[in-house]
Amino acid sequence: GQAMAAELEACVKEQGAVQVGDVVVTSAGGLHATFCVHAVGPTWHGGNQNEEQQLYDTVYKCLCKAHELQVPSIALPVLPGGAPGFPEQLSADTFFKAAQDFADSVDVASTVNAIHFTNSDRSTAEVFAEALTEHRTHLRKLTAACRRLHAELYDSVLPFWEKHSVDAEHGGFFTCLDRDGACFDTKKYIWLQGRQAWMWLKLYNLH
């Protein structure tokens, strides 16, 4: 609407032209939203001008701005091709990578609990839907692997070192152990002592 356009024009006059990857916030005008985050995404030039990274940065900055504004959700319009001239698959992969990296980086207390990619072009929507399915499959596999590693760490690795490595008589840790836990060298190398102390402290702070 006119109010939003006026705010955006004022921002440009005050801050200068919005460059690729930059974001500017205005009110939402007549939209059913609290804010409108304006962003300038890159145009595809064959992939030789860092366009993929520029698109990633644009999406990521929009999500970070939503986090900063403490809104519960954000809707990012996906233009035909995802961004001007971009190959649809590359665009979809970049959008989802930025969203996943954002989710991994923000505090669990972030108010942003929903990210919507909106579009009215069927072919682009289908590419994004397929990319989302692949992304979810990848996340499920990654989650399963993390669970296996977690179980191995807490059920096997840590109990082994806690039982066999601690020198209860003189202090410190034995680090030269065979597979059965028998110590074959009682030398206590400083670096390994510090590393094991750091590991136990890190685990303690995590819990």
Q: pLDDT, tens digit, for every residue of 19-75? A: 887 888 888 877 788 888 888 888 888 888 889 999 999 999 999 989 998 989 998
Give the structural domain span for 185: 166-206
Number of domains in the chain: 2
Read off the CATH number of the domain in which 96 is found. 3.40.220.10
Q: Do 25 and 91 reside in the same domain of the chain?
A: yes
pTM above the 0.75 mark?
no
Q: Do 180 and 90 reside in the same domain of the chain?
A: no
Coil vs helix vs strand at 79: strand
Q: pLDDT, tens digit, for every residue of 117-136? A: 888 788 888 888 888 888 88
Give a yes or no: residue 191 inside a domain: yes
d(CA 15, CA 27): 17
Last residue of a domain, one of 57, 89, 121: 121
Last residue of a domain, one of 121, 139, 174: 121
d(CA 25, CA 39): 9
Q: Do 10 and 110 reside in the same domain of the chain?
A: yes
Give a yes or no: residue 133 inside a domain: no
Give a yes or no: residue 117 inside a domain: yes
Give a yes or no: residue 143 inside a domain: no
Q: Do 6 and 104 reside in the same domain of the chain?
A: yes
Q: Which amino acid, 126?
A: E
Q: Do 26 and 81 reside in the same domain of the chain?
A: yes
Give a yes or no: residue 46 inside a domain: yes
Last residue of a domain, one of 68, 95, 121: 121
Provide the 8-state DSSP code for 43.
Answer: P
Give a yes or no: residue 183 inside a domain: yes
Give a yes or no: residue 144 inside a domain: no
Q: Do 26 and 98 reside in the same domain of the chain?
A: yes
Question: For residues 191 and 182, is the Cβ–Cβ distance under 8 A?
Answer: no
Give a yes or no: residue 158 inside a domain: no
Q: Do 14 and 113 reside in the same domain of the chain?
A: yes
Which whole-number Å values give the CA distances from 53 to 29, 48, 61, 138, 186, in the listed order?
31, 11, 12, 21, 51
Provide the 8-state DSSP code for 156.
Answer: I
Q: pLDDT, tens digit, for every residue of 123-172? A: 888 888 888 888 888 778 878 888 898 899 999 999 999 999 999 999 99
